[in-house]
Amino acid sequence: MHVWCVRWGDVRVSMAFRIGVDSGGTFTDVCLLDEDNGRVSVWKLPSTPTDPSIAIAGGTRQILERRQSTEPAEVSFFGHGTTVSTNALIQGRGARTGLVTNEGFRDLLELARQRRPHLYDLQTDKPEPLVPRDRRHEVAARMHYDGRVERAPDAGEIKAVARALKDQGVEAVAICLLYGFLDPSHEIAIAEGIAEVLGPEVFVSCAHRVCPEFREYERLSTTVVNGFLGPIMRGYLDNLTPRLREAGVAVAPHITQSNGGTISFETASAQPVRTILSGPSTGVVGALETARIVGERDLITFDMGGTSTDVALIEGGEPGLTTEAEVHGYPIKVPMIDIQTVGAGGGSIAHIDSGGFLKVGPRSAGAEPGPVCYGLGNEEPTVTDANVVMGVLDPNRLLGGRMEIDHDRALAAMERLGGKIGLGALETAAGIVRVVTANMARAIRLISVQRGHDPRDYCLIPFGGGGPAHAGRLARELGMGRILVPRNPGILCALGLLLTDLSQDFSVTRRTGLNADGIGAARAAIVQLRAEAEAWFALEDVAPERRAIGVTADMRYAGQNHELNVSVPEITDDAGFLDQLAANFAELHDRRYGYVAPEEPVELITFRLKASGLVDKPGFESAEEEGPDASPALVSRRPVYSSEDASFTETPIYDRDLLRPGNQVTGPAVITQFDSTTLVLAGQTATVDRYFNLALREGDVR
């Protein structure tokens, strides 16, 4: 197994470590933090897609062995980000799943919201239902909107359904009934009947546990996805757990969930749907913590990988969450960091469409054959090729010199493409970068402007392999004045794992008016959620002084159906509580939609509680600022094409690892490191901060 050391943090003498492992499709990144001196070591090794636990455990073991110490190592924390559930969903490789629902509603799973997937394209298909129609069973039971029972399920019928499911050989069963979030007794009766007949090996996914919220289709979809992934995640973690123990990890390992917090392997086994954005959300947390240390709390993260780019907004140190996400066409209604994904990354292919416009993506050359410059057979130019042609990326080699590339091949491909619309190779390359920048800007507007936030108030945090090369132009496009490039942009996800708090979200739908009569219901809902949180804290073994709780409510004007998530103050006196809640709602409504309607009654719909088990945040390595002179890090010069001037400029190239805190680099300049390249545009200045991040600003900061 080949392991690249990205950075060696001198961990020879220490005894206590924290480990973060981010397992992606191509690479597995392992991050080791020495608790004594705050130094971070980072490794990258190829993933083992057939059984990811081999690379994860193998990498962990090798790294612990490299300490060159005879003392046994103590791993105090192990955090893991994974794409297992996302991949299983996207590739349709989940478990054989059955469904039990109300009589008359088994088709809801494929009827969805009745909309077709593309307005004009007659050939587009709906996503394949995860449970085929013959494995969708109905029971004659019905509850009403006020919790009144018209008909309870019959024990004999439940048994018959359970036997049918057994005959069908299902590995997982999803159970979702109308209004099950108000009163779960019918779902529980069905779950018990199924466990009786099918035994404990069958994975049971109950809507009232997975997603106790109104809107039956989205709840059903979430419950089914959870069932579909259940046996997969359980098998994966059952595989990984003993391997980690053998590798020397004695502490209970944790996994990141889509809300940016971590959960135990046990919780992840029961609710795998919560790990669907495990990978990308870890990067957001890494960015958040990197920025927090230097005092930036309002951020837009920009994670540009090979085939796609993820952006997210963080306000006041809290990532924006959504409960309306759709993954691969399947709605998933659990809290997730509000991440917008654009189908464009470094490997995205550029082409000319039938109207003569230059387009980039969503087709990607992937890691293999990869961009034209890799010389592995792809001849259609990609975003990476554009950067190679323009000289932003080293025209000879990538990955710290480990990979040779073919500049001339990329240039020829660019000429061929440009020839179709009468542009030269360089204009075409610059055009590709502009089009990609516009696509990214549109995604950022979705999470900022459309949510009532002005991007100019935020700091852009670029990471992933491609983020730092594009951040300067993107920030200009959006008028953003501040950019912070983390010390290791390529492995920020793994780093984020070392910094993530445990957390779990709880919710319950209790529709009630925002008035004196509603206080009782609100109080009861919050008490219930607190009790659930306490039980979870006990399960996760969180010490009392490390427990934190935040309560919010989804609110709307009575009559609206789309709620705004409003923070809920402590209930001290009833009147003050109501006033504060009303004010919080009005403020948010005004910001989002531009008006308030003070005479209209307001409703509370879903109460949400986020429980966090706070972990110690390690101190990052820092150093005193030295002078602005960056010349010791100046390693070479090469011509870099500026689309602004339409010409090449001889541009200084700096080695990121040689830059010291306080050093300043004035653009145009290129700063290279193992896994990423930062482009400083003419007119911008990069300053190295005490934590070795690069702070980019417009203008000369001296």
Residue in 23, 257, 323, 439 binding another protein, rule: CB under 8 A: 439
Interstrand relation of 27-34 and 97-102 (parallel, antiparallel or unpaired) = unpaired
d(CA 303, CA 283): 8
Which CB, 481 or 661, lies closer to another protein?
481
Q: Which residue is it, tokens 């993506």?
A: 361
Which CB, 81 or 361, lies closer to another protein?
361
Binding of another protein by 517 (CB under 8 A) = no
Which CB, 126 or 245, lies closer to another protein?
126
| Closest to 290 in 3D by CA, of 491, 479, 441 | 491
33-52 positions binding another protein, by CB under 8 A: none
Query: Which residues have C-beta within 8 Å of that of residue 467, sequence separation ≥ 6?
Result: 302, 303, 304, 309, 485, 489, 676
Minimal distance in Å, beta carbon 322 to another protein? 13
d(CA 471, CA 692): 18
Which CB, 446 or 571, lies closer to another protein?
446
Residue type, 291: A
348-407 positions binding another protein, by CB under 8 A: 353-359
Which CB, 115 or 702, lies closer to another protein?
115
Residue in 2, 113, 402, 702 binding another protein, rule: CB under 8 A: 113
d(CA 507, CA 550): 12
Residue type, 45: L
Contact region with another protein (CB under 8 A), list: 122-130, 333-341, 493-501, 522-530? 122-130
Which CB, 397 or 442, lies closer to another protein?
442
Contact 360, 304 (CB under 8 A): no
Residue in 12, 126, 151, 637 binding another protein, rule: CB under 8 A: 126
Binding of another protein by 148 (CB under 8 A) = no
Minimal distance in Å, beta carbon 339 to another protein? 17
What mask, x for binding another protein by CB under 8 A, covers residues 202 to 241?
------------xxxx------------------------
Binding of another protein by 627 (CB under 8 A) = no
Binding of another protein by 201 (CB under 8 A) = no
Query: Which residues have C-beta within 8 Å of that of residue 388, sequence separation ≥ 6?
Result: 371, 373, 394, 395, 405, 407, 410
Residue in 154, 196, 600, 657 binding another protein, rule: CB under 8 A: 600
Binding of another protein by 624 (CB under 8 A) = no
Side-chain half-sphere of 9: how many Cα atoms within 13 Å?
23
446-505 positions binding another protein, by CB under 8 A: 446, 449-450
Which CB, 27 or 330, lies closer to another protein?
330
What mask, x for binding another protein by CB under 8 A, covers residues 90 to 109?
-------------xxxxxx-
Which CB, 2 or 113, lies closer to another protein?
113
Residue 182 is given by DSSP the state T
Which CB, 263 or 300, lies closer to another protein?
300
Binding of another protein by 530 (CB under 8 A) = no
Binding of another protein by 646 (CB under 8 A) = no
Contact region with another protein (CB under 8 A), list: 61-69, 407-415, 432-440, 689-697? 432-440
Residue in 1, 5, 13, 111 binding another protein, rule: CB under 8 A: 111
Binding of another protein by 599 (CB under 8 A) = no
Residue in 166, 297, 351, 592 binding another protein, rule: CB under 8 A: 592
Tokens of 581: 């809640």
Residue in 560, 565, 567, 664 binding another protein, rule: CB under 8 A: 560
Q: Which residue is it, tokens 């090996």?
A: 201
Q: Is the bond preceding residue 362 a cis peptide, omega within 30 degrees? A: yes
Alpha-helical regions (H) of 21-91: 52-65, 84-90
Binding of another protein by 631 (CB under 8 A) = no
Helices H / strands E in the chain, number of each: 16, 38
Binding of another protein by 591 (CB under 8 A) = no
Binding of another protein by 515 (CB under 8 A) = no
Binding of another protein by 438 (CB under 8 A) = yes
Contact region with another protein (CB under 8 A), list: 278-286, 442-450, 524-532, 670-678? 442-450
| Closest to 216 in 3D by CA, of 293, 292, 142 | 142
Torsion angle defined by CA atoms of residues 517, 518, 520 and 524, in that order, rounded to the nearest 10 degrees = 170
Binding of another protein by 698 (CB under 8 A) = no
By CB atoms closer than 10 A (0-12, 13-18, 19+), residue 572 is exposed
Contact 537, 613 (CB under 8 A): yes
Count residues contacting another protein (CB under 8 A)?
A: 63
Contact 193, 156 (CB under 8 A): no
Which CB, 168 or 396, lies closer to another protein?
168
What is the per-residue DSSP string for 654-678?
EEGGG--TT-EEESSEEEEETTEEE
Residue type, 340: Q
CA distances from 602 to 178, 354, 512, 556, 583 (A): 25, 51, 9, 6, 11
Residue in 297, 445, 638, 690 binding another protein, rule: CB under 8 A: 445
Binding of another protein by 431 (CB under 8 A) = yes
Minimal distance in Å, beta carbon 108 to another protein? 6
Q: Positive or negative CA dihedral for 557, 563, 567, 572?
A: positive
Residue in 91, 114, 572, 631 binding another protein, rule: CB under 8 A: 114
d(CA 122, CA 242): 50
Q: Positive or negative CA dihedral for 586, 591, 592, 596?
A: positive
Which CB, 107 or 541, lies closer to another protein?
107
Residue in 12, 442, 456, 637 binding another protein, rule: CB under 8 A: 442
| Closest to 531 in 3D by CA, of 625, 645, 609, 442 | 609
Minimal distance in Å, beta carbon 441 to another protein? 8
Site for another protein, rule CB under 8 A = 103-108, 110-111, 113-116, 118-123, 125-126, 132-134, 144-146, 178-179, 214-217, 353-359, 421, 431, 434-435, 438-439, 441-442, 445-446, 449-450, 511, 557, 559-562, 592-595, 597, 600
